Structure 1
């Protein structure tokens, strides 16, 4: 996510001052330290939470959906069909962080949130944004670590902040169980036997994540060797010639059209992954299993990707795992046909 620096109007400043004064009357009786080390007052009552971006919206939905004011963008019908109907239908309210941010502080104040929640990078850029928005609005702004490996502690922290400790511990334990299962199995694979993987992002498959990028955290946790390099970096645009030179063992794609065209495209035909039939399309409903957005939706993606990379080590029934994940995290019981459709299998 990238910070928005939008100008603050006089009206927003006055509104923030008013909220700050009101907050003094109903001061919180506890504080929670967020992922950046900032001490936040726990509101005496949290009934309305504004998610700063998509990762925060998904995290909040999976823990306390009733508190979600709305979505950074309105959900599509195929996404809504897999979530709690009343919550999924909530309106588009824009976003404070990320490219194309659409929520100015006046619109945030108009929704009268008790808390603004951001999840993702905790670099100084976002700490500065959090401080600025909190000062200008008078609304507590929590910035939580969006790293996949730290999901359990993020759930516990959010549970304390929202006074939903039991739910926070439940989701934290479930997330930790998935992470532990993955780590235990991957440790059995010698380094030289771990596959070289290309994460083909975007509609042409020519964007990828370098080592440490949030878009390829799942590859890192599964011990895959990233052909784009292990040096810390973000997203990178590459050429077809570069991918051919890398010649990955496995390709993981995120775009349906690209994945469908890849096998019949003579340009990509020489690749070992294509010849071996090891091209996989990451499921994308209700949210992306590899990235897009990089939130807790990637937990079920770890099991799916583990099955793709190491089928002998991950023999789970993925349809059953998908149904269990939806019940636990999305609050919906889905049938076998829905699970198969999500996985891209025949219904």
Structure 2
């Protein structure tokens, strides 16, 4: 089994090089109290979830994009100046590319991680701060914590009004999702297999952050591993056939195209009955890729997919979300193209 965020620092020790003089103290999601400068002007995101979180509130403070900048088809949904920011590498995840010299070279006032608050990531934050002298904070990326996270981030960045608007919208989406989940519990929970990658044989196990949205929306993730297993896992098509899910979902259009042709995948009941679903993935995924605040859009969409609400108005809801969180009014033709496969029209 693989965990979905693995810390790695390429440089074991560096001399501390502190930011501007600290003038206030804030607490992160773990209760760690860290001194911040009076004004945070630049944030280094430890991974893609943190980059998206900061971007939604304060794109002007983002130092760059971990892993890679947005590609052209993603950038058209984002603020142009922010989309053009450089790659800065990442401190967490499977493709760790940043060393501490790169962090220092970016000259941030704050290093921010957003994801699991397990002890290993607390230790990572403490190590980065000790070795760079830069305040390093960790926020909880679980869905239920999003409103609280926005309030905390607003205080950290002194962007309270902007963060409060996003916290309020997140609270509304989460409340609607809980109501939809209660209706599904009465009607019967749909069973979902979440296929990752072009072959569909990687999945997110029950209880992992990568599949959290499925369970929050009231569906059942069929991928249950051994006791205590979390994160990502490799499975066989034969195992998926044995699970016999009601829906197969994937962010990867290559998998969707392959599954429609492959005899084994086509023998799956969900595929035969037209419930092989392309999850929207631009500019960020609606289930994970990465598991950050972008998943709120998935909670707007899933009740419609599961037949609890009509599709009328989805395009307008998504456009409003993009304006608030992504700082750009999306082109309606592009938006229709994004939504069509998710509604079985692609």
Whether the TM-score (by the shorter chain) exceeds 0.5 is yes
Do structure 1's residue 59 and structure 2's residue 53 form an aligned pair?
yes
1:290 alignment partner, SS class: coil
Cα pair 1:63 1:329 within 8 Å, conserved: yes
Displacement after TM superposition at 1:116 (Å): 0.4
SS at structure 1 position matched to 2:91: coil
Q: Displacement of 1:163 after TM fit?
A: 0.8
2:125 is paired with a residue whose SS is helix
Which runs of structure 2 are paired with 1:29-48 in the superposition (5 Å)? 30-48=24-42
With structure 1 as the length reference, what TM-score do the two structures score? 0.92
Matched, 1:267 2:264: yes
- Residue of structure 2 in register with 1:3 after alignment: 7
- Structure 1: distance between partners of 2:187 and 2:327: 41
The separation in 2 between residues aligned to 1:145 and 1:97, in whole angstroms, is: 14
Q: 1:277 aligns with which of 274, 278, 290?
A: 274
Distance 1:191 1:229 in 2: 22
Cα separation, partners in 2 of 1:338 and 1:226, compared to 1, 3 Å = same
Where do 1:1-347 residues align within 5 Å?
1-9=5-13, 12-13=14-15, 16=16, 18-19=17-18, 23=20, 26-28=21-23, 30-72=24-66, 73-190=68-185, 193-229=188-224, 232=228, 233-309=230-306, 311-313=307-309, 315-344=311-340
Contact kept, 8 Å, 2:191 with 2:219, in 1: the verdict is yes
Q: Distance in 1 between matches of 2:115 and 2:327?
A: 23
In 2, distance between residues paired with 1:177 and 1:312?
17
CA distance in 1 between partners of 2:310 and 2:29 (Å): 32
Which structure 2 segments of 5+ residues have no match?
none
Normalising by structure 2, report the TM-score. Answer: 0.93
1:40 counterpart SS class: strand
CA distance in 1, matches of 2:72, 2:28: 34
Offset at residue 316 of structure 1 (A): 4.5
Deviations 1:21-60 (A, max 9, x none): x65xx221x3221111100223211111100100000000
Residue 339 of structure 1 deviates from its aligned partner by 1.1
User: RCO greater where, 1 or 2, for CA within 8 Å and sep 6 or more?
Assistant: 2
Contact 1:207 1:235 in 2 (8 A): yes
CA RMSD of aligned residues (A): 1.7
Q: Following the alignment from structure 1 to structure 2, what is the Cα–Cα distance between the partners of residues 228 and 209? A: 7
SS in structure 1 of the partner of residue 184 of structure 2: coil
Q: How much has 1:343 moved relative to structure 2?
A: 1.5
Structure 2 CA distance for aligned equivalents of residues 159 and 38 of structure 1:
17
Q: Distance in 2 between matches of 1:43 and 1:318?
A: 41
Q: Greater CA deviation, 255-264 or 89-98?
A: 255-264
> Is the 8 Å Cα contact of residues 283 and 344 (structure 1) preserved in structure 2?
no
Structure 1 alignment gaps of length 5 or more: none
| Aligned pairs, number | 336
CA distance in 1, matches of 2:196, 2:103: 32
8 Å contact kept, 1:280–1:308: no
